[in-house]
Structure 1
Amino acid sequence: MELHAGTFNPEDFAWKGLTLTATAAKHIRELSIKQGVLGLRLGVKQTGCAGFGYVLNTVSEPTAGDLIYERDGAKLYVSPEAMPFIDGTQVDYVRDGLNQVFKFHNPKAQNQCGCGESFGIQAE
């Protein structure tokens, strides 16, 4: 196996995976039915003061190579390229007063910005 600094091959890793709480699964399932989609895609993008932000999009057609995490009929799609940043994450859906939001309990997140919109990870 040839190694290069700064490169990543998703096939070199065994993932712990993602988990959905019962409330997250219920909300994803309801959204999927309401919008006529297969589920949601969780990804990351570079943003914010801490480095990365979570991105959720609906999935009408799966992408080749997608990892699919399922609970109670709810499907969460993830590309292998996103896994180094979110592996082991528990996805929850919480209500706080009038606010309803997905929460990500990510063991890889080493720091978070003050507003909670972005996170940073430490290179291994």
Structure 2
Amino acid sequence: MAVETFVPSASVITVTPSAVRHFESKLGSSQQIIRFSTKESGCTGYAYVVDYADAPQADDEVIQVSDKLTVAVARSAIPMLRDTEIDYVKEGINGLLKFNNPNIAEACGCGESFSVKS
């Protein structure tokens, strides 16, 4: 009989150095965390939700990204966010979060919502 190791936080999400700097600057010296989840929205199904939280919820997957940044991923969102890279990019004078999500099957034209592969 073989023994397999399950590492739940492996490959849930990754956060680029640019996004880490962005989130750390927003949190400053507070003890808050960044929490990622999804909600039903838009014409294709789901939208990303990024919140500041004082603590993770009981069933969240918690990832220590850096000394100053802890992120939590809602358990219900893990199937939709698995292997997603979260990046912060500058486009002209605007800065925005980009979710490079390999699970997306379809996205709406305005970029507000997405559906995932089943």
- Using the size of structure 2 for normalisation, the TM-score is 0.84
Alpha-carbon offset, residue 69 of structure 1: 2.2
2:58 to 56, 60, 64: 64
**2:21 counterpart of 1:26:** yes
Cross-structure match for 1:55? 49
Number of aligned residue pairs: give it. Answer: 111
Q: Percent identity?
A: 31
For residues 43-96 of structure 1, the C-alpha deviation after alignment (integer angstroms, 9 at most, x for no partner) is 101101111100011011221122122323322211211101111100001110
The residue type equivalent to 1:64 in the other structure is A
Write the distance in 2 (CA, Å) between the matches of 1:26 and 1:68.
19
1:74 and 1:61 map into 2 onto residues whose CA distance is 12
* Structure 1 SS opposite 2:111: coil
- 1:105 alignment partner in structure 2: 100
The partner residue of 1:96 within 86, 91, 98 is 91
Q: What SS does the aligned partner of 1:110 have?
A: strand
Q: Which moved more, 1:66-75 or 1:17-26?
A: 66-75
Q: Is the 8 A contact 1:70 1:76 kept in 2?
A: yes
Aligned partners of 2:56, 2:116: CA distance in 1, in Å?
27
Residue 37 of structure 1: CA displacement? 4.2
What is the deviation of 1:112? 0.8
Query: Which segments of 5 or more consecutive residues in structure 2 lack a partner in the other structure?
Result: 1-6
Structure 1 position 111, deviation (Å): 1.1
CA distance in 1, matches of 2:15, 2:64: 8
Q: TM-score, normalised by structure 1?
A: 0.80
SS in 2 for 1:57: strand
Match of 1:85 among 80, 89, 105: 80
Runs of at least 4 residues of structure 1 off by over 2 A?
13-16, 69-73
